[in-house]
Amino acid sequence: MRTIKGPAIFLAQFAGDAPPFDSLDHICAWAASLGFKGVQIPSWDSRFIDLVKASESRTYCDEITGIAARHGIVITELSTHLQGQLVAVHPAYDAAFDGFAPPQVHGNPVARQAWATDQVIRAARASRNLGLKAAATFSGALAWPYVYPWPQRPAGLIETAFAELAKRWTPILNAYEENGVDLCYEIHPGEDLHDGVSFEMFLDAVKQHPRANMLYDPSHYVLQCLDYLDNIDIYHERIKMFHVKDAEFNPTGRQGVYGGYQSWVNRAGRFRSLGDGQVDFSAIFSKLTQYDFEGWAVLEWECCLKHPEDGAREGAQFIDSHIIRVTEKAFDDFASGGTDEAANRRMLGITN
């Protein structure tokens, strides 16, 4: 067993144009002051990283690693959530998702997909240049508009969608293999990979590709009423990243999982700051430690009530208190009889 690394923080929800959230140097100083030891960088945010340059220059990567190191911070992973989303977009969402891409590809789904694919592949090269082992992304979605089978889905619709997902993602996964980096899909509603079954369907479609792995975030499972502890037992070999995010689900006679088109604060299921929701993080950290998880515990702040800076400050302490420093000896070593093979054979009545 090994001790989970952390606490770290995903910077996407904290980025801004005013200090200390306006540059990698400033935000690393802020994160360190709260007790964080690592930062997960959103690769689309030029305030923190130039992804094209990082994919082409180790010197540049050494420079940004050095910026973080000056504050006692390491870069844990890169995220391509927004670009990954654009690898597969159903036409119903074209207008909504255009905002994730640069203006020159707006209104052109083919060009937007090509741009997104290049971005995610560049993140593989940048991760290698930064010495990282994993990167985060979204799968995108072609079948999501048909998640509820009404009207009845035509035969083969979902199979066709996952075959197309595999066609688009396999070259990307191969690039991650070439660069020695795991690509971790955040299992998330709105993505075609939104639960264990859909993740397995994708694995089948990409022929169990060794670089197709999972970013584990229990908050999305709470809101789906999915057993997030059993999920670790089932998928621990594929779980390579961990977002520490809390949530609560309080259904009423008026609304449940689907939320009635309400704002986050008025939904039955909503994200909360660490410790304010219903997730049993003691059990999660125990299971991940048991299964020798070698990654980082990364705070992702998304709370409909609490101020983000309070959530970050409390979150650093929360994660640190849940990380289990693994034991180097068995608790009952004091009672060891000091036996050897010969003694073991005698104890079993084996005489020859």
User: pLDDT confidence of 239, banded at 50, 70, 90?
Assistant: very high
* Phi, psi angles (nearest 5°) of residue 152: -50, 130
Distance, CA of 111 to CA of 95 (rounded, Å): 14
User: pLDDT confidence of 335, banded at 50, 70, 90?
Assistant: low
Is this structure's pTM higher than 0.85?
Answer: yes
**Which sequence spans correspond to the domains of the chain?**
5-347
What pLDDT shows up at residue 106?
98
Which two three-digit tokens encode residue 120? Answer: 């995610």
Phi and psi based region of residue 135 (left: phi greater than 0; alpha: psi -120 to 50; beta: remaining): beta
In this prediction, residues 153-174 reach a mean pLDDT of: 98
State how far the alpha carbon of 252 is from the alpha carbons of 23, 257, 287, in Å: 43, 10, 31
Residue 345 has pLDDT above 90, yes or no: no
pLDDT by residue (tens digit) across 38-70?
999 999 999 999 999 999 999 999 999 999 999
The residues near 171 (Cβ < 8 Å, ≥ 6 apart) are 117, 121
DSSP secondary structure letter of residue 242: E
User: Directed axis angle between helix 196-205 and helix 228-235, to 10°?
Assistant: 20
What is the average pLDDT value for the chain, to the nearest integer?
96
Task: Match domain 5-347 to its CATH number in 3.30.470.20, 3.20.20.150, 3.40.50.2000, 3.80.30.20.
Answer: 3.20.20.150
Residue 312 has pLDDT above 70, yes or no: yes
State which amino acid sits at residue 89: V
